[in-house]
Structure 1
Amino acid sequence: MPVIEATLPRRLLSTPIVGPLAALLAACVFFSLNTEQFLSGGNFSLIIQQVMVVGTLAIGQTLIILTAGIDLSNGAIMAFGGIVMTKLAVDGVLPPLLAIAAGLAACAVFGLANGLLVTRISLPPFIVTLGMLNVVFALTHIYSQDQTVTELPAALTYLGETFRLGGTNVTYGSLVAILLFLLFAYLLGQTAWGRHVYALGNSPDVARLSGIRTQRLTISVYTIAGLVYGIAALLLVSRTGVGDPQAGQTDNLDSITAVVLGGTSLFGGRGLVIGTLVGALIVGVFRNGLQLMGVPSIYQTLITGILVILAVTVDQLSRRRTR
């Protein structure tokens, strides 16, 4: 019994999500004490709306980082998917629902391309996705002719509509984002595919020797991540009501920030997708709270950068202790 009592708190403290969750709660307490508007249903709904796009992108980013990779192209892929959806629908090329499907497919194809380049040619994920970032960015501007797509059909903006929940307006898009987090939490924690993703991130050689088809698994991770970026594109379009070729230019870094703050290791094999949700909320809460306090936006960026450095430092120190 004494051994169990000693090890249980240690296990809880070693769980990757504990630190981020404590930071989120501390931030909420701080801002609730310093701003009267923070503790309101409307404000929390606004925070969720503000983080749902980056949070959804961060789901795909989490999958890739768990394999010890990284994706710098996800924001650009999202922007391209949004342009494909909106232009096909507005120009009358496809019905709105088929236009949405085409946008999702386009994003999945770019994810597949990233996976094939990483596995078949053995290029580093950083280089592959950095190059894909520029390719997709250029294609987005070529296809859109640098024009914002407006007057969207209702099907593309439906997820931006709201419903009442406990006296607070909540968007359908926020609900979709939360359900996605729950879905991938289940897939990573309760399926063989999820266990293989963690094994691949911990040691590709050991995973391969244990019978896991590592190349096929890596391709599936990048392809699924691309599909998730397509869903993020739909959420962005529904929230803004336009197809914007300039969208997502810093969202790649914001998604990495959410993943790191959520306790996922940049070295792969360690982390939880629910932690990524907490990480995205940390960023949203800090930016919202500082804005309510009247702090200039440049200081919001400064604090976010400090938080990222602290999170990576903690991860590095924890890895050293386990060696």
Structure 2
Amino acid sequence: MANDPAPDKSGGAVTTAPREPDAGFPDRKPEPLGLRIQHVLHANPILGPLAVLVLAIIAFSLVSGRFLSVANLGLVLAQVTVIATLALGQTLVILTAGIDLSAGAIAVFSSIIMANLATKAGLPGPVALLLGFAFGTAMGLLNGLLVTRMKLPPFIVTLGTLSIFFSLNSVVSKSETVRGSDMPDIMTWTGNTFGVGGFRITYGSIIMLLLFAFFFYALSRTAWGKHVYATGDDIEAARLAGIRTDRVLLSVYTVAGLIYGIGAWVLMGRLASASPNVGVEYNLDSITAVVLGGTSLFGGRGLVLGTLVGALIVGVFRNGLQLGGVDVVWQGFAIGLLVLVAVSIDQWIRKVKV
């Protein structure tokens, strides 16, 4: 053959010296530290929030000796339970590159519906709860229909329903708070506590943790979860791949509404009442927890466990700053600064070249 080595004069084949594997190729330089961190955070988005949470716990434990007390840590968990539950539903929506500004309004309105069905309509507590969950689900379904059928932007849709649900809330409640003592015990059962090694944990916290465990499995191990991520990452590519993206979006908003309805039950236990005058800050707090937890506002990337860490970050910061004697105004300033930093880091991580 033409490429065979020619024989030498002694009849043997000419041997070619082996080529050095790296001859002619310059040595590759190691990646800069910043780029390596960028790659690690892109592959493991929960690491950043966990680092912030650990550093915050260490810092506030040095500021106040009471911070790491069993009683205070139990209080922090109880305080973040409602926001974490609402943030779970918010996470599902944001994973699809949407946003839900009506989360707090749905939760508060659902709690008022439950309380009034149990007290004024005289329905048994379990029935009132189930109907309240159904109302929350229906409100989420309405958001989903407006987004998928009317093709309206999620921001505009949920901004509008935010006002609608809060207005209906005032009409139904007549701006009156329903006391827990007037309701069946099951309505405020989520606020009851039990002891675990010195900690006092509410049943509402257990419900919240079970919800996170369920949706962690659903998003990571089911076809529905994979479709949610695909829709948020690139909705057109997902549609071309055969995913019925409208159905996915509709299911996400509907399921989020159900989660907000369950959050209403947790809220009644936390307040030991059903008040129409709460929840104004719940929408922003739930979004804050999601963003701090590493879920991208542009969709397609994030973990529900990150949202739980994000909610804990908010609770730890507020509790720690309060123990440190920081004014409430500056507590809000610190949380807002954290959000800006988290979004900036998210933008930086998304620029990684894979």
Range into which the TM-score falls when normalised by the shorter chain: over 0.9
Match of residue 98, structure 1, among 127, 143, 152: 127
The alpha carbon displacement at 1:269 in A equals 0.2
In structure 2, what is the Cα distance between the partners aligned to 1:246 and 1:78? 12
Match of residue 59, structure 1, among 88, 95, 108: 88
Report the TM-score when normalising by structure 2: 0.88
Match of residue 141, structure 1, among 170, 178, 186: 170
Deviation track 1:244-277 (CA, whole Å, cap 9, x = no partner) reads 1112111000000000000000000000000000
The alpha carbon displacement at 1:9 in A equals 8.0
The alpha carbon displacement at 1:80 in A equals 0.4
Deviation track 1:159-216 (CA, whole Å, cap 9, x = no partner) reads 1111110022111111111111111111111111001000000011111111111111
Q: In structure 2, what residue type is equivalent to 1:105?
A: A
Q: In structure 2, what residue type is equivalent to 1:224?
A: V
The alpha carbon displacement at 1:12 in A equals 4.2
Q: Which moved more, 1:155-164 or 1:268-277?
A: 155-164
- Local SS of the residue matching 1:195: helix
In the alignment, structure 1 residue 256 sits paired with structure 2 residue 290: no
Match of residue 251, structure 2, among 220, 232, 256: 220
User: 2:16: which partner in 1?
Assistant: none
Match of residue 97, structure 2, among 55, 68, 72: 68
Query: Is contact 2:41–2:349 with CA below 8 Å preserved after alignment?
Result: no
Q: Which moved more, 1:296-305 or 1:8-17?
A: 8-17
User: 1:3: which partner in 2?
Assistant: none
User: 1:267: which partner in 2?
Assistant: 298
User: 2:8: which partner in 1?
Assistant: none
Deviation track 1:108-149 (CA, whole Å, cap 9, x = no partner) reads 001000000000010000000000001101100001111111
Q: In structure 2, what residue type is equivalent to 1:260?
A: V
Q: Aligned pair count?
A: 320
Task: Name the structure where helix makes up a greater proportion of residues.
Answer: 1
The alpha carbon displacement at 1:223 in A equals 0.2
User: 1:181: which partner in 2?
Assistant: 212
Query: Is contact 1:152–1:241 with CA below 8 Å preserved after alignment?
Result: no
> What CA RMSD, in Å, does the superposition of the two structures yield over aligned residues?
1.8
Question: After the TM superposition, which parts of structure 1 deviate over 6 Å for at least 4 consecutive aligned residues?
Answer: 6-10
Matches within 5 A, 1:175-254: 175-254=206-285
The alpha carbon displacement at 1:11 in A equals 5.7
The alpha carbon displacement at 1:95 in A equals 0.8
Structure 2, unaligned runs of 5 or more:
1-30
Q: Which moved more, 1:116-125 or 1:150-159?
A: 150-159
Q: Which moved more, 1:9-18 or 1:105-114?
A: 9-18
User: 2:148: which partner in 1?
Assistant: 119
In structure 2, what is the Cα distance between the partners aligned to 1:251 and 1:8? 36
Q: What percent identity do the matched residue pairs reach?
A: 54
Query: Is contact 2:104–2:279 with CA below 8 Å preserved after alignment?
Result: yes
In structure 2, what is the Cα distance between the partners aligned to 1:169 and 1:275? 24
Matches within 5 A, 1:21-60: 21-60=50-89
In structure 1, what is the Cα distance between the partners aligned to 2:76 and 2:105? 23
In the alignment, structure 1 residue 132 sits paired with structure 2 residue 164: no
Q: Which moved more, 1:268-277 or 1:160-169?
A: 160-169
